[in-house]
């Protein structure tokens, strides 16, 4: 609040309901509701970035639905075309985007009305309508998380293990289970990419994505169609890479 004008200098506050590159951080249940109360007090818009977590990645159509709050604006892309990408979208409350305040021609975009992106987006919406992701994604996510937490009990180097739906995180630490270890994280990732893992008697590889402030968090976002058998295989491969990296460290 500017004390000279008695007006707030900020127009909008941007969030990710579950942080993406930040390491798939899931906030406390009441966090965004409390934040929205503060923003409303100063007439600041809440803008929800669903580019990574939208379209059932967390088990709900929008990740923000988990937190009992309605944002003023939602921006989305990526999953709208299942990764094809030449289209994105924005949803806003009527008072912000009605024709009287936001008429045609108010903005433009290189990817506006992209024919290929539009066609792909329509097919994705059709696929969502035909699927049962609201039930399947949480079920598979809980199974995956339970397997990771079981593994966590064996390895103190696995720090925080958490997730929402099929957006899961595994924090890699030093032996104290607390100090971030980018060194060990990189070693695990390199072993996966080497293609020299051998779970179930076959030579295999494992691609792991790294995020988090200290670059020590594996962010896991598998296909919605992953099976429990494939999850089990992934756990075996991850444990093999982890145990080899720990022995070498």
124 and 153 part of one domain = no
Between 112 and 196, name the one with better pLDDT.
196
Helix pair 133-152, 228-248: axis angle to 10 deg: 30
Domain boundary among 108, 130, 152: 130
Residues in the chain: 249
pLDDT per residue as tens digits for the range 48-58: 999 999 999 99
pLDDT for 199 equals 83
pLDDT for 87 equals 86
Whether residue 170 has pLDDT greater than 70 = yes
Closest CA relative to residue 169, chosen from 59, 24, 21, 7: 24
Look up the CATH number of the domain holding residue 82.
Answer: 3.40.640.10
pLDDT per residue as tens digits for the range 204-249: 999 999 999 999 999 999 999 999 999 999 999 999 999 999 999 8
153 and 58 part of one domain = no
Q: Whole-prediction pTM value?
A: 0.91
Whether residue 111 has pLDDT greater than 70 = no
pLDDT for 1 equals 63
Domain boundary among 130, 147, 170: 130
pLDDT for 151 equals 98
> Cα–Cα distance between 81 and 246 in angstroms, integer?
39
Domain count, the chain: 2
> Cα–Cα distance between 202 and 192 in angstroms, integer?
14
Domain boundary among 96, 112, 130: 130
pLDDT per residue as tens digits for the range 60-101: 999 999 999 999 999 999 999 988 878 888 999 999 999 999
83, part of any domain: yes
Query: Residue 36 sits in which domain range?
Result: 12-130
Average pLDDT over all residues of the chain: 94
Closest CA relative to residue 145, chosen from 220, 61, 213, 207: 220
Task: Please check whether residue 209 is in contact with residue 189, taking contact to mean a CB–CB distance below 8 angstroms.
Answer: no
150 and 125 part of one domain = no
Q: Which residues contact 63 (CB under 8 A, 6 or more apart)?
A: 16, 17, 18, 50, 53, 54, 57, 164, 167
Closest CA relative to residue 58, chosen from 26, 92, 10, 32: 26
1, part of any domain: no
HEC-encoded secondary structure of the chain: CECCCCECCCCEEEECCCCCCCCCCCCCCCHHHHHHHHHHHCCCEEEEECCCCCCCCCCCCCHHHHHCCCCCEEEECHHHHCCCCCCCEEEECHHHHCCCCCCCCCCCCCCCCCHHHHHHHHHHHHHHHHCCHHHHHHHHHHHHHHHHHHHHCCCCCEEEEEEECCEEEEEEECCCCCCECHHHHHHHHHHHHHCCECHHHCCECCCCEEECCCCCEEEECCCCCCCHHHHHHHHHHHHHHHHHHHHHC
33 and 124 part of one domain = yes
């Amino acid at each position: 609040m500017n004390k000279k004008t008695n007006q707030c200098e900020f127009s909008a506050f941007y969030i990710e309901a579950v942080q993406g590159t930040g390491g798939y951080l899931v906030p406390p249940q009441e966090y965004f509701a409390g934040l929205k109360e503060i923003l409303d007090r100063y007439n600041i818009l809440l803008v929800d970035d669903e580019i990574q977590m939208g379209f059932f990645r967390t088990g709900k159509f929008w990740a923000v639905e988990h937190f009992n709050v309605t944002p003023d604006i939602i921006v989305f892309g990526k999953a709208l075309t299942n990764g094809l990408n030449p289209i994105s979208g924005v949803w806003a409350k009527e008072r912000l985007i009605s024709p009287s305040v936001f008429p045609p021609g108010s903005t433009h975009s290189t990817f506006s009305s992209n024919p290929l992106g539009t066609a792909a987006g329509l097919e994705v919406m059709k696929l969502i309508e035909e699927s049962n992701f609201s039930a399947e994604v949480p079920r598979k996510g809980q199974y995956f998380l339970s397997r990771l937490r079981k593994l966590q009990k064996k390895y103190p180097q696995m720090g925080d293990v958490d997730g929402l739906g099929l957006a899961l995180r595994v924090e890699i630490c030093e032996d104290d289970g607390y100090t971030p270890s980018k060194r060990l994280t990189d070693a695990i990732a390199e072993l996966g990419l080497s293609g020299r893992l051998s779970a179930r008697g076959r030579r295999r590889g494992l691609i792991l994505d790294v995020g988090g402030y200290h670059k020590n968090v594996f962010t896991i976002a598998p296909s919605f169609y992953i099976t429990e058998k494939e999850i089990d295989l992934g756990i075996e491969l991850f444990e093999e890479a982890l145990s080899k990296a720990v022995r070498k460290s």
